[in-house]
Amino acid sequence: MEKYALSVAQEQAQEILIKAFPDIDINKLQVFYPPVEIEADLSIPLFGVAKELKQNPMKLAEEVANKSDCAGTLFSKITAEKGYVNFVFDREKINKQVFNDYLSFAEEYGVSEIGKDKTVVIDYSSPNIAKPFSIGHLRTTVLGQALCNIFRFAGYKVIAENHIGDWGTQFGKLIYAYKQWGNKEDIEASPIKALLELYVRFHKEAESTPEIENEARKWFKKLEEKDEEATKVWEWFKDVSLKEFERIYKILGVKFDDIIGESFYNDMLKGIVTEALDKKVAEWEEITPPEQLEENFPQKNKLVLIKLDNYGIRQPLLLQKSDGTSLYATRELAAIKHRMEKWNPERVIYVVGAEQKLHFQQCFKASELLGYNVKCVHIWFGLIRMADGKMSTREGRVIFLEDVLNEAIQRAKDIIAERDLTEQEKETVARIVGIGAIKYVDLSQDRVKDVVFDWNKMLSLDGDSAPYIQYVYTRVKSILRKADFDGATKLNLKPELLVEKEEVDIIKRISHFPEVINQALENYEPHRIANYLFDFAQSFNRLYANVSILKAETEELRNSRLALIDIVRYIIKRGLALLGIDSPEKM
């Protein structure tokens, strides 16, 4: 991480204590932010050190504080309280350091070189061909895009990959359904809606006529064997779906570097199975299917699997079914191998729901056993649920993502209808605000928690929301326009004049920005940035309410306050951009 003001201060606090305890491991001197009631900026607890030295932590903290020296540091005072050594910033020094940091990096403040010369592949969104883009796809799509933005800002080369679900037994079902009940004109008129209806109908018919499942398997077998009729229908479904997906991605502002369907890996699958058997990673397993299915299982004892009991995974990973067809796991391993050979990434990140935990545990362990030298990470998240339970494509209980986005944009239009904006500006702002509101509702929450779908909560444009933060941004921009502000570098600044409590609070929060980005990166948690931005926006509103900016007592103070809120402008815009949310110039 770059040596921004806060990281410099943290290192200085540790170094002060190392002088007192030269034999103590610096990693045991963890720096914390003290609670509000303690008048300090940083704290280091001495309980572990005291235990190691067999001393009283309270007395030890007082002894260290009394003999410590602030010379040459960003601190003005060191105190002790209840076993903690507390550090108070020298306001003049910290203000100058934060301003210098920003002026050095300007519109890249917070950037780092953590990922220099490293590549990551981020696999996200991954919709299924011929199925609707539902609200259930929102989390993987916006979370994956946010992670791409954060990793790029940290210096990584990022390959944003969309692993499209264009293969599997569901296509046998869909082809059968189309051949039985489909209408070409209906599909051309409203492709995804018509295909969804066919998919739902297949599963309803299968409840009373289970033998159609066998017919679906036969169609998928034909597809794997590159049957001309099956392939033509499948490619048609694929083309129609990809056009629909691209339209939704454009609305969301989501872009990919690589879009690959599962079918891309078909020619690699036999090689994966052979490799696994040759390396003694996989083995044959004899099975005897039910008699009524034997005609469809000509190689009924030819099932191939990887047993993982020795690694704490009780369920084996199936690589090849007894009819010789491939499985999703086989294609997953092929994808890992392909990415390793093509990109040589430092890691591959899968942004996929919690229900796939076992699948990825199996595949990652199998990949390791096969000797694929790439780190794989599953970034899982909770579901978006309807009030009456989990959404299901099979049962037709789906909320279309486009409907949600359009509703959000319309609600935003209603809110800004009376604003002093041109009609074109209203259209632009409504789209930015509406889409931003939807993304923020998701990204501001801890990804591991389920989200219960609620129209009012999802589309709320007040309180802890993107529109609230966006409005603060437009307020800052308005002040800067009125001041005819043309950049802090052209002004004679004296940041040491910024001593009002609201100014001190803002500067402290600015110093935290690079660390918040780093934490979001390390933990794959964009909600840390979202939560920071909401608190930051509130902090600015307190400044706006209590401190005069344009009518400051002196020109030097006015210029320094304008420079301060220009940094606020940057951080809000940059922070929202990392989340994939735009900032309107007016609102």
Report for 19-23, 200-204, 464-468, 576-580: range of highest mean pLDDT: 576-580
What is the identity of the amino acid at 153? F
CA distance 124 to 148: 10
pLDDT (tens digit, 9 = 90+) per residue, 313-347?
999 999 998 877 778 899 999 999 999 999 999 99
- For the chain, state the CA radius of gyration: 29
- Structure confidence at residue 323 (pLDDT): 73
Length of the chain: 587
Q: For residue 293, what pLDDT band results from cuts at 50, 70 and 90?
A: very low
Is the distance from CB of 8 to CB of 57 less than 8 angstroms? no
- Structure confidence at residue 394 (pLDDT): 54
Q: What is the mean pLDDT of residues 256-265?
A: 94
CA distance 559 to 490: 10
If we measure between CA atoms, which residue out of 436, 439, 416, 441 comes closest to residue 427?
A: 416
Say if residue 392's pLDDT is above 70: no
Say if residue 294's pLDDT is above 90: no
What is the identity of the amino acid at 138? L
Distances (CA, A) of 287 to 15, 168, 301, 303, 481: 65, 22, 5, 7, 75
Residues 6+ apart with CB under 8 A from 533: 469, 571, 572, 575, 576
- Structure confidence at residue 462 (pLDDT): 72
CATH T-level topology, domain 401-578: Isoleucyl-tRNA Synthetase; Domain 1 (1.10.730)
Say if residue 4's pLDDT is above 90: yes
- Structure confidence at residue 289 (pLDDT): 53
389 DSSP β-pair partners: 386
The CATH architecture to which 124-385 belongs is 3-Layer(aba) Sandwich (3.40)
Q: For residue 558, what pLDDT band results from cuts at 50, 70 and 90?
A: very high
94 φ, ψ (degrees, to nearest 5): -70, -40
- DSSP tally for the chain: helices H, then strands E: 20, 13
Say if residue 453's pLDDT is above 90: no
Say if residue 554's pLDDT is above 90: yes
Is the distance from CB of 584 to CB of 474 less than 8 angstroms? yes
CA distance 47 to 85: 11
Q: Residue ranges per domain, the chain?
A: 5-89, 124-385, 401-578
DSSP 248: H
On average, the pLDDT of the chain sits at: 91
- Structure confidence at residue 127 (pLDDT): 94
Cα dihedral sign for 203, 207, 209, 210?
positive
Cα dihedral sign for 551, 554, 558, 559?
positive
CA distance 158 to 152: 6
Say if residue 281's pLDDT is above 80: yes
Q: What is the mean pLDDT of residues 112-138?
A: 92
Q: For residue 492, what pLDDT band results from cuts at 50, 70 and 90?
A: confident
Say if residue 549's pLDDT is above 90: yes
CA distance 180 to 176: 6
CATH T-level topology, domain 5-89: Gyrase A; domain 2 (3.30.1360)
- Structure confidence at residue 28 (pLDDT): 82
Residues 6+ apart with CB under 8 A from 350: 123, 124, 360, 376, 377, 378, 379
Q: What is the mean pLDDT of residues 77-87?
A: 94
Distances (CA, A) of 243 to 133, 250, 254, 257, 292: 12, 11, 14, 17, 41
pLDDT (tens digit, 9 = 90+) per residue, 399-417?
788 888 998 999 899 989 9
pLDDT (tens digit, 9 = 90+) per residue, 20-77?
888 888 888 899 999 888 889 999 999 998 998 899 999 999 999 998 999 999 999 9
